[in-house]
Structure 1
Amino acid sequence: MLICLLKRVGQLLGFAATAAALTMSTPVYSASDTLRVATEGTYPPWSFKDSSGNLQGFDVDIANALCAQLKMKCQIVAQAWDGIIPGLQANRYDAIVASMSTTPARRKQVLFTNKYKETTSSFIVAKDSGIKDVTPVGLKGKRIGVQRGSSQHQWLTANGYEKTATLVLYDSTRQPELDLVAGRVDAVIGNKATFYADFFKRPESKDFTFVGPEFKGGVLGEGNAIAVRLDDSDLCNRLNTALDAIIKNGTYDQIRKKYFPFPLM
C-alpha cells in the first residue's frame, strides 16, 4: 500500500514538473513586451535596407502595424533566408514576417498564422530568348536562377528541373535577376508580385518578360503567413487577432497601396 502511494506521489510530482517546464518554455506576452521579428532584408519590395541601413518594405510595415495593434514594441532584424527558421527555433526572435509560403514541409517546422497575402510564381526570360515552353523539357540545357532554399527552389526540384536544366542557386532574390540581365542565366523564377513591383520597375528590365503560366499551391504553398514556434499558440492567436483588426480597420490596405496597385488577396 505504501509503495503504491509513493509511486502515485512520484507520478504527480512528475506531472507537475512537466507542466511547469511547458509553462516556462512557452512565453506569455503582454502589451509592454517587445516582439522580436525576423525578416529577410534583401527582398524588395517586401523587405530591404534603405540608404541609411534601415529596414523598409511591405513586410516591415506589416510587422510594425501588428505590433502597434498589440501595443507591443517591435524589434525587427534581418536574417538570411536559409537560416531564418533555425533562428526562430533557437529563440533568437519570436516571429518571422518575411512573405513565407505556407508549404507542407514548413508546417512541420513552424506554426503559421492566417495568411496575409496570396502568392504566385512565374518565370522571366529575355524577350529575344525564344523560350516559350517553361516545362522541364522546354528548359532542357538552360540555366535557371533561383534563391537557395526558397519554395521556388523546392518546386523546381520536386518537378524534375534539375534533371534537364542547371539550377543556379543564390542567397538572395536580387542576385539571380542581376545574372539574368548579364546573360549568365537563361531564366529566373520567383514571386510574380515581387518581379512586378521591383524588377520590372528598373530600366534594365525592358528587354525581359514573363513567360509561361503562373504557378501556385503544393510546395509553393497556399499563400504567405507569419511563422512562430510550434509551441507558441498564444502568440499565433494574438497575431491572428491583430491581423484581422488591421485588415478590418483599413491599415492593411493602406500598406498594400503603398507598394502595389492591385490586391494581394
Structure 2
Amino acid sequence: MRRTGVSRRQLFRTSGVAALAIPAAGFLTGCSFTDPGTGKPTGATLDRLKQQGYARIAIANEPPYTQIKPDGTVTGAEPDVVAAVLERMGVPEIEGVVTPYESMIPGLNANRWDIIAAGLFMKQSRCSQVAYSQPQLVSTESFAVPAGNPKSLTDIASVKSDPAVRVAVLPGGFEDGALKNAGVPPAQTVNVPDGRSGIEAVKAGRADAFFLPTLSLNSLEAEGIDITPPIQDVQQTGSGAGFRQQDRDLVTAYDAELEALKGTPEFDRILDEWGFSGDAARGVTREELCSVEG
C-alpha cells in the first residue's frame, strides 16, 4: 500500500487550509474528469480516482484518528482504514488535506476533497448531508481536567449543574454539538483550534475541562492533567468515511470492500495500532450511529 509521502510532495498552505501537494500527474495539471467551467467532478467518481491514482481526504491531524508524521506521511486510524479499502478498490494513494471539522462537509460538497477520513462522528445532522460508509471506528468521550478534578466533572450533567464551569471544545466537533444538544449554554464553552490548545486552556485556567474522545486526550498527556473515565451521558460515537450524497455508487463499492477488510486480521491490526477495537466497529451499524441526535 502506498501512503501519502514526501516524494514529489511538500506541505503547503492555501486558503487557510494545510494540504499535501498533489503529484504533477494530479489536479495541478488538470483532469479530464473535471468540468473546466465549474471545477466540479464529472463522470463516475471511482473511475476518476482510479485514473488519477489517488483520493484527496480531509483530515484534522488529531491523533489517534488522523495524524501527519514529520515527513509528511498521512496516517492515523481512519486514514489507514480508508487507504486499505481504497487500495482494494484500485486507488493506491491518499492525499491528506488538514482542515477544521466545521469546514469538512462544506469542503466535501465544494469538491475540495473526495472523502472525509477524520473521525467525523456520525449523527443525524451530518448523516443528512454526508453519505457515510459503514462504521470504521467506535470511540468513547472523556474530559481532560486539572489534576484531582477539582470541579468533580464526570459527565455533561455535572457541567450543566454549575453555570461557572467552562468547557473547551473544537468548534463543529461532536463534543461541541453534544453540549449544545444537552442544553449547555454557549457561555459555558470555550472554543479552541486544536487538541494541544484545549489542554493549554485547562492548564492556564481558561477552561475547567476539555471535552474530546478519550483516546485523543490520552495522546495529549500533559503534566498536571487528568483524563476522566468515559462519560456515560453522551451517546455512543463512531465514524465512517464520508462521501458526497451524489456518490452513492462509490459508497456501495466502498462498503463492499470495507466489509471484506473487516473479515481479515488486517482490519484488527490497523485499529489495534491506534487503540481501537475491531469488534466494536463490527458491532454497530451506520443506521444506529446516524440516529444519534445532533
TM-score by length of 1: 0.78
Which residue of 1 is the match for residue 36 of structure 2?
A: none
How is 1:118-133 mapped onto 2 (pairs within 5 angstroms)? 118-133=138-153
Measured against aligned partners, the alpha-carbon deviations of 1:51-97 in whole angstroms (never above 9, x if no partner) come to 22332222221121112111213232223122111111011222111
Q: Deviations over 1:83-126 (max 9, x none)?
A: 11111101122211111111100111111111112122222212
Answering whether residue 257 of structure 2 is matched by residue 227 of structure 1, we say: no
Mark the CA change 1:63 to 1:37 in structure 2 (over 3 Å): closer, same or farther.
farther
Corresponding residue of 1:240? 255
Distance 1:213-1:65 versus aligned 2 partners, 3 A rule: same
Contact 1:26 1:232 in 2 (8 A): no
Letter of the aligned partner of 1:231 in structure 2? Q
Match of 1:51 among 34, 47, 70: 70
Greater Cα offset, 62-71 or 75-84: 75-84
Residue identity opposite 2:64 in structure 1: P
Paired position in structure 2 for 1:82: 102
Aligned pairs (5 A) from 1:101-116? 101-116=121-136
Distance of 1:212 and 1:253 partners within structure 2 = 22
Within 5 Å, give how 1:184-263 maps onto structure 2: 184-196=206-218, 198-199=219-220, 202=221, 204-205=222-223, 207-210=225-228, 213-217=231-235, 223-260=238-275, 262-263=277-278
Please tell me the residue identity of whatever aligns with 2:114.
D
Cα separation, 2, equivalents of 1:144 and 1:166 = 6
**Pairing 1:182–2:165 present:** no
- Which residues of structure 2 form unaligned runs of 5+? 1-40, 282-294
Tell whether the 8 Å contact from 1:132 to 1:211 is kept in structure 2 after alignment: no
Query: Where does structure 1 differ by over 6 angstroms across 4 or more consecutive aligned residues?
Result: none
1:140 alignment counterpart? 163
Q: Which of 172, 175, 178 is the aligned partner of 1:149?
A: 172
Tell me if structure 1 keeps the 8 A contact 2:137–2:276. Answer: no
CA–CA distance in 1 between the matches of 2:116 and 2:225? 35
For residues 151-197 of structure 1, give each alpha carbon's deviation from its aligned partner in whole angstroms, at most 9, with x where no partner exists. Answer: 1101111212226x52111222332122223333111111123223x
1:67 and 1:159 mapped to 2: Cα distance?
Answer: 37
Matches of 1:114 and 1:241, distance apart in 2: 10
Measure, in 2, the Cα distance between the counterparts of 1:116 and 1:257. Answer: 12
Rg larger for: 1
Match of 1:21 in 2: none
Q: Could you tell me whether the CA contact under 8 Å between 1:33 and 1:73 is conserved in 2?
A: no
Distance in 2 between residues matched to 1:97 and 1:89, nearest whole Å: 14
Fraction of identical pairs, as percent: 19
Are the counterparts in 1 of residues 139 and 276 from structure 2 also a CA contact under 8 Å?
no
* Contact residue 55 and residue 91 of structure 2 kept, 8 A: no
Q: What is the CA distance between 1:212 and its match in structure 2?
A: 7.1
What corresponds to 2:80 in structure 1? 61
For residue 232 of structure 1, give the secondary structure of its aligned residue in structure 2. Answer: helix
Are 2:58 and 2:113, in contact at CA under 8 Å, matched by a contact in 1?
Answer: no
Q: Secondary structure at the match of 2:242?
A: strand
**Structure 1 contact 38–96 (Cα < 8 Å) conserved:** yes
Higher helix share: 1
Letter in 1 for 2:169: V
The 3-state SS of whatever aligns with 2:232 is strand
Report if aligned partners of 2:168, 2:210 keep a CA contact under 8 Å in 1.
yes
Q: How many residues align?
A: 234
- How many angstroms apart in 2 are the aligned matches of 1:28 and 1:56? 23
Which residue number corresponds to residue 181 of structure 2? 158
Structure 1 residues 242 and 139, CA gap change in structure 2 (3 angstroms): farther
Verify the 8 A CA contact 2:57 2:97 in the aligned structure 1: yes
Match of 1:27 in 2: 44
Distance 2:43 2:243 in 1: 11
- The structural deviation recorded for 1:215 is 4.2
3-state secondary structure, aligned to 1:161: coil
Alpha-carbon distance in 2 for matches of 1:115, 1:242: 13
Please, what TM-score do these two structures have when normalized by structure 2? Answer: 0.71
Q: 1:114 is paired with a residue of what secondary structure?
A: coil
